[in-house]
Amino acid sequence: MSFAEFLPGIRYVGVNDRTTTRFEALWTLPCGVSYNAYLVVGEKIALIDTVEASFGNRLVENIREEIGDRPIDYLVVNHMEPDHSSSMAALRQLYPAMRIVGNSRTLDMIRGYYGLDEGLCEVGESDTIDLGGATLAFRMIPMVHWPETMATWCPEQRVLFSGDAFGTFGALDGGITDTQLDPDRYRDEMRRYYAAIVGKYGGPVQQALRKVRTLPVGTICPTHGPVWQRHAGEILEEYDRMSRCAGEPGVVIAYGSMYGNTERVAECLARDLAAEGIRNIVVHNLSYADESVVLRDVFRYDTLVVGSPTYNAELFPPVEQLLRRIETRNMPGRRFACFGSFTWAGAAVRRLDEFARRMKWETVGEPIELRQGFSAAVRESCRDLARRIAEGMREEADRE
């Protein structure tokens, strides 16, 4: 068994990308990203997904290292985003008899993206392909996070090829599975990936989980990040929590500040919350923070406090952008508090309150509003708001 064969007949042929700096041209990649592809080898051979086209030659090298000159009989396309499908046309030239497998939406996208219209094999819910010694069965999981997405199940090895579901940012440093790597490093990257990429689609993720839980899954093979074996059950539970927006006890303080007054409120609130016994506190200056990290933390913790100066009679632009990101992700069930500042005409606190009402979130305490500079009265308001936030968190803990 080669190192790439992490289960009998299941081989990893993906690649690492340590040069792209922004995923989807939006989200930072400080640790790179992997594009995962897999071979299922029986009497016939199936390739599960491909990689981004600029790494296509490396994919072919990996495939040939594993199977030599044997042909690929099937290419299964679980997800059509180009980071997983754009090597498809080149592979068809190398393996002209290869049949390309996908659902009806997938095949329509293949025609549109790559002009391929021959050798396509349409599959639906619970259809199977017999490779001779291994079986592939298909489960439709639309809108996780594109409409054509599906998962492929290999019952003989209890392996779920899950597409982007359960994926993470971060290149694979040497190992392939969570038994060969430090899984803790990738869990935060999974949360960040979920918040940035999948977070809008909590309902479809819940539907997908209901299907997955009917299967005796032993190994999860996503299209990004490590293969989950030892921790597969924990990863399913983490996805359940994230897709239900079930926040852990903790406070995210996200603020913008031009001249330091709004920032001073943020720092005081953090100190006062700590004095109240709150330990999970994360503070983000939105002019400098990585937006995907802020979203990750908002998904993770159950209380959000936002501060903004008034800017051109509106919210400070980085604050406005964060709120738009949160709103498009349809995130329910957070506690919310806010603070703002102005010099001659205040708008920030009003806009923050309007956001909370649109989200139907529980608001905690009275907003803190600074007119011009920081003062002793504002300092006392910080202590009062911190007390109210901590009391609400303790009451929630007692109910649980």
pLDDT of residue 6: 96
User: In the structure, what pLDDT confidence band is assigned to residue 400 with cuts at 50, 70 and 90?
Assistant: low
Residue 196 DSSP one-character state: I
Backbone angles phi, psi at 264, to 5 degrees: -65, -40
pLDDT digits (tens, 9 = 90+) for 12-21: 999 999 999 9
Residue in the block written with tokens 């059509």:
80
Q: What's the count of helices (H) and strands (E) in the chain, helices before strands?
A: 12, 23
> What residues have CB less than 8 Å from 132, skipping those under 6 apart?
42, 43, 44
Domains of the chain: 5-243 (3.60.15.10), 248-399 (3.40.50.360)
pLDDT of residue 346: 79
pLDDT of residue 18: 97
Mean pLDDT, residues 226-236 taken together: 96
Residue 227 DSSP one-character state: B
State yes or no: cis peptide before 231, omega within 30 of 0: no
Mean pLDDT, residues 34-59 taken together: 97
pLDDT of residue 397: 77
pLDDT digits (tens, 9 = 90+) for 244-285: 998 999 999 999 999 999 999 999 999 999 999 999 999 999
β-sheet bridge partners, residue 368: 339
Whether residue 345 has pLDDT greater than 90: no
H/E stretch holding 350: helix 348-359
Separation CA 196–CA 175 (nearest Å): 25
CA dihedral 320, 324, 327, 329 (to 10 degrees): -140
Separation CA 258–CA 180 (nearest Å): 46
Residue 26 DSSP one-character state: T
pLDDT of residue 398: 75
Separation CA 209–CA 356 (nearest Å): 29
β-sheet bridge partners, residue 41: 45
pLDDT of residue 373: 84
Separation CA 151–CA 140 (nearest Å): 6
pLDDT of residue 2: 78
170 or 373, greater pLDDT: 170
Residue 58, CA distances (Å) to 24, 31, 50, 84 in order: 21, 20, 11, 14
pLDDT of residue 104: 97
pLDDT digits (tens, 9 = 90+) for 291-321: 999 999 999 999 999 999 999 999 999 999 9
Structure tokens at 332: 């329910």
Q: What is the mean pLDDT of the chain?
A: 95
Mean pLDDT, residues 322-337 taken together: 94
Mean pLDDT, residues 194-216 taken together: 95
pLDDT of residue 333: 87
> What residues have CB less than 8 Å from 77, skipping those under 6 apart?
49, 84, 85, 88, 100, 101, 102, 106, 110
Residue 168, CA distances (Å) to 171, 297, 342 in order: 9, 15, 40
Separation CA 25–CA 11 (nearest Å): 30
Residue in the block written with tokens 């869990």:
187
Do 82 and 53 contact (CB within 8 A), yes or no?
yes
Mean pLDDT, residues 389-398 taken together: 87
pLDDT of residue 220: 98
**Secondary structure, 3-state, 270-302:** HHHHHHCCCCCEEEEECCCCCHHHHHHHHHHEE
Strands (DSSP E) found in 164-291? 219-222, 248-255, 281-285
pLDDT of residue 372: 87
Burial 291-308 (b: 16+ CB within 10 A, else e): bbbbbbbbbbbbbbbbbb
pLDDT of residue 343: 84
